[in-house]
Chains A and B, each alone.
Chain A
Amino acid sequence: DVKVTQSSRYLVKRTGEKVFLECVQDMDHENMFWYRQDPGLGLRLIYFSYDVKMKEKGDIPEGYSVSREKKERFSLILESASTNQTSMYLCASSSQQGSPLNQPQHFGDGTRLSIL
């Protein structure tokens, strides 16, 4: 089974802090994604990556950056945390092999981040 591991389940940080959320997958997947989930808004894509050192902006990249130095690890960075970034953050990965368009995404259990 694919395992996507997010380093923290719960995190509390202060306004203005630089925050790092880490995600590791063990299936050698090429694609990795960061979403935030808010009630009534569903999942919104922040950033995604097709390969090492490669990144693409999603729908809501403002205030965030990402890093993918190794294939298995995709980090989300809040440059200067603000209270409106309090949310559930979900990491996902998917394969680019075979028929990539029909490959499902596999999700971690999420990090619930509170910015005070």
Chain B
Amino acid sequence: AQSVAQPEDQVNVAEGNPLTVKCTYSVSGNPYLFWYVQYPNRGLQFLLKYITGDNLVKGSYGFEAEFNKSQTSFHLKKPSALVSDSALYFCAVRGRDNQGGKLIFGQGTELSVKP
């Protein structure tokens, strides 16, 4: 069965420091991987995706994510965190044999960036 795990419910970072939000996945075959961000009282916004090719994917707002096939991970990173990055982050996976648009989401990680 396909699944996504975000092992940390919350991540706390000081402004200006690098941040990492972790994600591991389980899927048959090669995965399609996505990161979304949710600000308070808003829907999810798409940040970036990994399909194939370069293991380092760049996305919106200065975020990037590193795909590691051997560790089945897709961690979200940013070199220098901003207070405005504080939000809920979701990792999602779609297997290549999955139906059309369906995604499997992780439980979410609350990122808190303090000044």
- Residue in A48, A90, A104 whose CB lies within 8 Å of B34: A104
A102 at the interface (CB under 8 A from B): yes
Interface readout for B32-67 with A: 1 if CB under 8 Å, 0 if not? 101010000111111001010000000000000000
Closest CB of chain A to B65's CB: distance in Å?
13
Asked whether B101 lies within 8 Å of A96 as measured between CB atoms, the reply is: yes
Asked whether A109 lies within 8 Å of B106 as measured between CB atoms, the reply is: no
Asked whether B43 lies within 8 Å of A104 as measured between CB atoms, the reply is: no
A24 at the interface (CB under 8 A from B): no
Closest CB of chain B to A54's CB: distance in Å?
11
Asked whether B100 lies within 8 Å of A100 as measured between CB atoms, the reply is: yes
Q: CA of A107 to CA of B34 in the docked complex: distance in angstroms?
A: 14
Asked whether B96 lies within 8 Å of A101 as measured between CB atoms, the reply is: yes
> Chain A: how many interface residues by the 8 Å CB criterion?
30
A55 at the interface (CB under 8 A from B): no
Asked whether B42 lies within 8 Å of A33 as measured between CB atoms, the reply is: no
Asked whether B105 lies within 8 Å of A102 as measured between CB atoms, the reply is: no
Q: CA of A102 to CA of B31 in the docked complex: distance in angstroms?
A: 10
CB-CB under 8 A from B100, the residues of chain A are: 30-31, 50, 94, 96, 100-101
Listed by A's residue number, 29 A-B pairs whose Cβ atoms lie within 8 Å are A30-B100, A30-B101, A31-B100, A31-B101, A33-B101, A40-B9, A40-B107, A41-B107, A42-B105, A42-B106, A42-B107, A43-B44, A43-B90, A43-B105, A50-B99, A56-B99, A92-B43, A94-B101, A100-B100, A101-B94, A102-B32, A105-B101, A106-B46, A107-B36, A107-B45, A109-B42, A110-B41, A110-B42, A110-B43
Which B residues are within 8 Å of any A CB, using their own CB?
A: 9, 32, 34, 36, 41-46, 49, 51, 90, 94, 96, 98-103, 105-108
